[in-house]
A = this chain, B = another copy of it.
Amino acid sequence: MSTISLPPLPPGRVVEDADVALGYATDRSLGSTAPEEYVVVRARDRADVVAVLEHAQAHRVAVVPQGARSSLCGGSTAIAGGIVLNVEALQRLEIDRAERYATVGPGVVTADLKQAAASEGLAYPPDPASSPFCTIGGNVATNAGGLCCVKYGVTAGYVLGLEVVLAGGEVIRTGRRTAKGVAGLDLTGLFVGSEGQLGVVTEAVLRLVPASDPPLTVLATFASLADATRGLLALRNDRHGPNLLEVLDGPSLRAIQAMQDFGSPEDAAAALLVQSDRPGSTDADVRRYAELLSDAGADAVAVADDEQEAEALMAGRRALAPALERKGSHFIEDVCVPVSRLGDLIAAAHEVGERTGVDITLSGHGGDGNLHPCLFFDDSPGSRERAEGAFADLVDVALRMGGTITGEHGVGTLKRRWLPRELGEAELARQRAVKAVFDPLGIMNPGRPL
């Protein structure tokens, strides 16, 4: 039995079954394990959140705000002696068609919001790869990105206002519901991406946009990384740029091809997968993209003329996750560099792989310079440590290029050690002081990363 202090809560909130609780203790990050002692509360409404945070501050108990546990960096795992406060049951979802915003509970699955918006002829663009199961609370907490950011930007660009419960139980509302507004400091933006360290979001007002067209797709393969980078820059500078501009390195392509024949050349250095969703112009766009890619030196360019062909081209990209799975144990990372350095980053990662004997593939959101290195290991002694060491080398490379340790996953516990290097001690100290304004006793998701 847990001895962690909890406030009185209505029935059904506290998870009593140890096996069920265990399911809430870990997330999708590498090596995520449950601590000895923790307790899980499944909030059903704001009052539950207020009660927990009021009590937790009074008793100095750590609180981990949690949604779908899709974090890859240890942002939502249980903390020893702490309360896991799951908010998946906060499911409000209302759309204001005329004003084009949605009022959304943190437990709403991102794909469900996207579907609800689509049924009104609108769109909620942010699309982390986990959107079929991740939730809006986590998207706000991590400022989630995804495949469409190259055209539509990240979550922060869509959050108009928030309702947040602070440590101690105070409820504040930030932001606005109007299209513009500059009254006071932008606390909304401060909460977005704060990784659950400033409070618990209990409601978000999210901007919607008019729906786009079903996308058409171009796939181009390149024999050289320099040509692929050139193609990527040409597309990024097009005045009707793509809504998706993904890159796959040679090892990623070969992993996919090993599972199923998608026709990738054996010696391809990289592939670019490009889409247009521009209303009424997808066809013209993909033809222009194909020309730009050929001009940049692509070996082979395939253009999808219709939605079905577009799907076929995307199938290869979608096969990546199972193909990596098939290759063996691995962890998926997240760095971002200036886009013109993308080819250099891939080449440097392959060098790190060769030097350390670690198998590394890179793929991701090329149009933003945001790649997801995938590092493989096995059960042999020291294998996982070698993979982690290789990633540390890669972080070093990315930072030297003027990049960041995380483009979209967040810092969490796993990347905390590099944060001082990226931010510098002066900014880090200010960030800690800002956190203390909202959480003076440091009970909110402590150490993730501040």
Does any Cβ of B come within 8 Å of A118's Cβ? no
Contact (Cβ within 8 A) B194 A185: yes
Contact (Cβ within 8 A) A410 B182: yes
Does any Cβ of B come within 8 Å of A1's Cβ? no
Question: In chain A, residues 421-450, which have Cβ atoms closer than 8 Å to a Cβ of chain B?
Answer: 422-424, 426-428, 430-431, 433-438, 449-450
Contact (Cβ within 8 A) B156 A186: yes
A422 to B173: give the CA distance in the assembly, Å: 11
Does any Cβ of B come within 8 Å of A154's Cβ? yes
Question: In chain A, residues 330-367, which have Cβ atoms closer than 8 Å to a Cβ of chain B?
Answer: 336-340, 365, 367
Over the window 151-182 of chain A, the binary record of Cβ atoms lying under 8 Å from chain B Cβ atoms (1 yes, 0 no) is 00110110000000000001111101111111
Contact (Cβ within 8 A) B407 A181: yes
Which size class do A's interface residues fall under? 35 or more
Q: A183-B419, A186-B192, A431-B184 are in contact. Are A178 and B402 (CB under 8 A)?
A: yes
A331 to B385: give the CA distance in the assembly, Å: 67
Tell me the smallest distance from the CB of A216 to a CB of chain B, in Å. Answer: 16
A410 and chain B: residue at smallest CB distance: B182
A194 to B434: give the CA distance in the assembly, Å: 15
A407 to B179: give the CA distance in the assembly, Å: 8
Copies of the chain in the assembly: 2
A186 to B419: give the CA distance in the assembly, Å: 14
Q: Which of A28-36, A234-242, A314-322 participates in binding chain B?
A: A234-242
Q: A210-B238, A369-B179, A434-B437 are in contact. Are A156 and B98 (CB under 8 A)?
A: no
Contact (Cβ within 8 A) A184 B423: yes
**Chain B hits for A236, CB < 8 A:** 100
Contacts beyond the supplied A172-B427, A179-B336: 19 A-B pairs with Cβ under 8 Å? A143-B182, A145-B180, A156-B186, A172-B424, A178-B368, A178-B404, A179-B370, A180-B408, A182-B193, A182-B407, A183-B406, A183-B411, A184-B431, A185-B435, A185-B450, A186-B194, A187-B431, A239-B279, A240-B279
The 10 tightest CB contacts between A and B, nearest first, are: A189-B189, A179-B368, A181-B404, A239-B279, A180-B407, A98-B340, A433-B437, A210-B239, A178-B336, A185-B431
